[in-house]
Structure 1
Amino acid sequence: MASGRRSAIRLGFGTTLHARSSLFDAGLIVAVPFVLIAVFTLPAGVRESYALEYTDPTLVTMYASHFVHLNVQHLAANLAGYAFLVPTAYLLCLLGDRRRTFRVAFPAFLLALPFGLSGLNLVFFRQAVAYGFSGVVMGYFGLLTLSLFGYAESRTNLAGGDRHAPVAFFVGIAAIAGALAPASRASAAVAAASLLLCGLYARTLLDLGVPLARFRSGLAESPPGYLELGAVGTLLFFGYPFIAFPADPFQGGTVVNLYTHLLGYALGFISVYTFRMTA
């Protein structure tokens, strides 16, 4: 009897996925790579004209530059990051009862995040040209971070909901600082400070009466597929910073804009967290 009641409450992975997903969502997700590839088929001179020159910015280049790639390797890297992060974030939102969050965040990042990233880059006046989708991809990494926390909360019945999600954000900052190589005193200090904040926050959670036993029992009762999705999300959460923040930012005659990557992560997480807290 108990087993029957539990299965009624916790539907199978495939059943829930089929019931909650839609072709509309899939179409939105798939459309972005097609747009990036279509832009890449434009003549090189046209693409270069839409890159953002910090000394001569325009509203058009502030937005369009994020969809411009000048070589196949750069495009492939961003498409791969998008292909891993966005579908995983979607599944985490879908199966964590947060599909509306994804449907709001996904188009909002495409429309607003390019302007935010470009504007914050222009604060530091310098002779440089910027282009590429990686900053927006990092925004989706911020969405993945909050989605993963929300997914764990929904699967394990932890109290408090998304208001405790900043602990995941600071774990992400610590992971990014740890990915930076070679290690420096600054990156070590950031990682240590982030982990300290996580520790203080974890103590607060325990003081609120959220024992780890509930977390373990929630994982144990999850049907097949749920734990695996959480594992994939966790691997991306800890592994993708090593891709987005390479040891050598000088690649192929260009410089990886680590500042934009960090901004994308922060803006992505903070905007979605704010939406969740005010919606």
Structure 2
Amino acid sequence: MDGTPDDIPADTETAGTARPAHSTLADGLRFAFGTLTVFPVRVARWDRAAARAGMLSAPAAGLAVGLCAAAVGALLLFAGSAPLLAAVATVAVPAVLTRGLHLDGLADTADGLGSGRPAEDALRIMKRSDIGPFGVITLLLVLLAQVAAVCELYGQGWARGAVAVVAAGVTARLALTLASRAGVPPARPEGLGAAVAGTVPVRAAVLAALLVTAGCAAAGALFGLSGAVRQAAAVLAGLAAAHALLHHGVRRFGGVTGDVFGALAETAATASLVVMTLG
């Protein structure tokens, strides 16, 4: 996820301007889309206020990515594609729209955690450009799980699959909002992890989680009460899985990094998709 240079300090602000005390919704959306997607959005501010608004707007970026992924899958299904091929294309879209940074963060985090080294050494391993065996295995299993889950959901109908894919995209970015809450420290003094760590008030993070869960449940209600319950459970399961990884990562690394944020997004998306196939 770390789409910014590692030498950006946590308190960087736009050059030549005074740091505003507050950030607008537009600033937040630019920050979210500019750092979490490849959409051509220029991030004009890197101060803490913009980071706070940006991480609160992260689910909106997830909504855009999820809609694109669902659209590609639905078009292939309408064209007569098998659910498996449509699922592969659907899973590929978020990777393309994030330049693979979330998947790269997942692999790097797996290598860091799997190394069993002290925090400083583990962080050094994560910064290397190569991917170790833990990262390769984790990437393989996560992508297989995502494709298998989406294929199963498409087998239940294109609409069910599309709604699930969009919900997974939103849940993945909501996990980043919660990981940016106050009290979660950065592991390094630079990079995107340091820029956003601790910027989101706990109450705002909880409110965002409630709103997203309610929105996903409402979308699931298109398929009845069981659909609403399944969607809400999937969001909560994705957040729970991401929280478990966040807790472990903070304990092992001393805080969060851009790589950890990428791993959280992929973990939340995968867990939510798997839960939506159950029942």
**Quick check: TM above 0.5?**
no
**Rg larger in structure:** 1
TM-score using structure 1 length: 0.33
